Amino acid sequence: MRIEAIPEKLIVAFVVVLISYLQLTTNFYVLGPAFGGWTTIFAQKLLAPMNILLVSLYVNYYLACITEPGSTPEGWEPPYSILNPDESVPIRVGILGPRFCKKCDSYKPPRSHHCRHCGKCVLRMDHHCPWLGNCIGFGNYSYFIRFVFSVMGCCSYGAYLLLWRLQRILDMRKSPWHMHQVSTTELGVIGFNLCLIAIVLLLVGVLAVYHTYCLLKGQTTIEGWERTKTTRLVNRRKIDPVEFPFDIGFYHNICSVLGRNPLLWWFPRSSPGDGLKYDVKPDTDPLVPYSWPPRDPKDLGPSIIERIEQEQHWEGKKLVRRDSEGYLVKEITMEDRIRMLNVESIETEQYDELNPDEYYYDSNSAESDVTDDEGDHDVDKTFVLEESEWVDEE
Ligand SMILES: [Zn+2]
Ligand SMILES: [Zn+2]
């Protein structure tokens, strides 16, 4: 059974019950009594780090669940200079015009992606998270990161105390004078809780490591995939080399998510900025942030199954080509179109031979789960043209 099939509210309720069960039994049933009573200063001191992290965990989980990740403001457009680039500046292969979302019928701000679960373009989209019942994007990524690190800290310290208590019990069991003090139920709860914590640490640990890497590299999960794809395209010489524009150095990358004051990095608040504009590397071509990720121009070719009668219908009209991500490709004439069809049919055969694995769209891939548009992008590789990809120029 896929996790998508379970209602998100049910998953969130499960997470809350799991956290509550772990904290209540660990605090009040196992460790409190073991430290001479939950209210004693000694117990409070030893349990304080775990409980402070627990508060951080609850607060950030709540905020990550209820905070809007951010969507494209109505009527948003890239700046005039991006929409009307200087034609004397040479165009690099792979760097196309500003992105456009066909589903939302609007331009896409830099780093945004269309989420099929939310049915809208999400600013600085990272991924759609069923465990939070929300999309993780510009508005709530900082809460998500703090939640993940709070889980790691809280569970690690809780596991350390539980293991300490387990060791004590095992030592006591060896002593005949203390046999009556050892509760089998407590032993069972410690064992069960340690197993649960180990599973949580393993799953969230993978997330924590990956998101630490993303945080330091100034990228989202989707941009991680895009960077891999871009490197592959550059290595195969399909596009001109282009650097990921949003990686502005470890320290500034962290500041762009957790805020500019390191003393307040752990304090629950959203990321600075408006989610529509981002700092970029010095000397970055201004077009790159609006057109990232680069695309293989071959993907933008028209269908080989297009019908001649449609060509008749288009004759005399000025056409503008948009690809699945909405890139404005260029105005073409019917002659261009026929030439592209001829070239495409030859190139398609070569493409098929070179990259048989890439030729088909895998509907089960993680990438396709997250955003529709990445899926559409791959569907494009089958060279089936949707009529909606063509828009009459006004
Ligand atoms: Zn959209
Ligand atoms: Zn979503």
Does the annotation mark 129 as catalytic? yes
pLDDT of residue 81: 85
Residue-wise pLDDT tens digits, 335-362: 665 665 555 444 443 433 333 333 222 3
Average pLDDT over residues 181-199: 90
Amino acid in position 168: R
pLDDT, the chain, mean = 79
pLDDT of residue 5: 78
Q: Which of 65, 101, 115, 129 does the annotation list as catalytic?
A: 129
> From CA 78, how far away is CA 83, in angstroms rounded?
7
The better pLDDT of the pair 327, 118 is held by: 118
pLDDT at 308 over 50: no
pLDDT of residue 94: 74
pLDDT at 137 over 90: yes
pLDDT at 389 over 50: no
pLDDT at 309 over 70: no
- How would residue 300 be classed by pLDDT, with cut points 50, 70 and 90? low
pLDDT of residue 39: 85
Find the 70 Cα to ligand 1 centroid distance in Å. 12
Q: Which residues of 134-156 are buried (b: 16+ CB within 10 A; e: fewer)?
A: bbbbbbbbbbbbbbbbbbbbbbe
Find the 285 Cα to ligand 1 centroid distance in Å. 25
Cα 323 to Cα 187, 194, 215, 303, 374, distances in angstroms: 61, 51, 30, 12, 12
What percentage of the chain exceeds 70 in pLDDT?
72
**Ligand nearest to the CA of residue 113, numbered in listed order:** 1
> From CA 102, how far away is CA 323, in angstroms rounded?
9
Find the 326 Cα to ligand 1 centroid distance in Å. 10
> From CA 48, how far away is CA 38, in angstroms rounded?
11
The better pLDDT of the pair 39, 375 is held by: 39
The better pLDDT of the pair 300, 124 is held by: 124
Tokens of 83: 């929409």
**Ligand nearest to the CA of residue 121, numbered in listed order:** 1
- How would residue 95 be classed by pLDDT, with cut points 50, 70 and 90? confident
- How would residue 268 be classed by pLDDT, with cut points 50, 70 and 90? very high
**Ligand nearest to the CA of residue 112, numbered in listed order:** 1
- How would residue 219 be classed by pLDDT, with cut points 50, 70 and 90? very high
> From CA 58, how far away is CA 65, in angstroms rounded?
11
Find the 371 Cα to ligand 2 centroid distance in Å. 8
pLDDT of residue 4: 73
The better pLDDT of the pair 335, 213 is held by: 213
Find the 254 Cα to ligand 2 centroid distance in Å. 23
**Ligand nearest to the CA of residue 76, numbered in listed order:** 1
Among residues 62, 46, 224, the alpha carbon closest in space to that of 140 is found at 62
Find the 99 Cα to ligand 2 centroid distance in Å. 19
Find the 68 Cα to ligand 2 centroid distance in Å. 10
pLDDT of residue 351: 36
Find the 120 Cα to ligand 1 centroid distance in Å. 4
Find the 126 Cα to ligand 1 centroid distance in Å. 15
pLDDT at 392 over 70: no
pLDDT of residue 386: 32
What percentage of the chain exceeds 90 in pLDDT?
53
Query: Cβ distance 204 to 148 under 8 Å?
Result: yes
Find the 62 Cα to ligand 2 centroid distance in Å. 17
pLDDT at 132 over 80: yes
Can you give the residue ranges of every domain in the chain? 3-67+140-217, 297-392
> From CA 378, how far away is CA 381, in angstroms rounded?
5
**Ligand nearest to the CA of residue 326, numbered in listed order:** 1
Cα dihedral value 81, 83, 84, 86, nearest 10: 60
- Containing 127, the helix (H) or strand (E) segment is strand 127-129
The top-scoring range by mean pLDDT among 106-110, 375-379, 383-387 is 106-110
**Ligand nearest to the CA of residue 114, numbered in listed order:** 1
Exposure of 378 in the CB half-sphere (CA atoms within 13 A):
19
- How would residue 49 be classed by pLDDT, with cut points 50, 70 and 90? very high
Find the 265 Cα to ligand 2 centroid distance in Å. 25
| Lowest model confidence (mean pLDDT) among 192-206, 285-299, 334-348 | 334-348
pTM, 2 dp: 0.75
| Lowest model confidence (mean pLDDT) among 104-108, 240-244, 367-371, 376-380 | 376-380
| Lowest model confidence (mean pLDDT) among 194-203, 208-217, 318-327 | 318-327
> From CA 126, how far away is CA 39, in angstroms rounded?
42
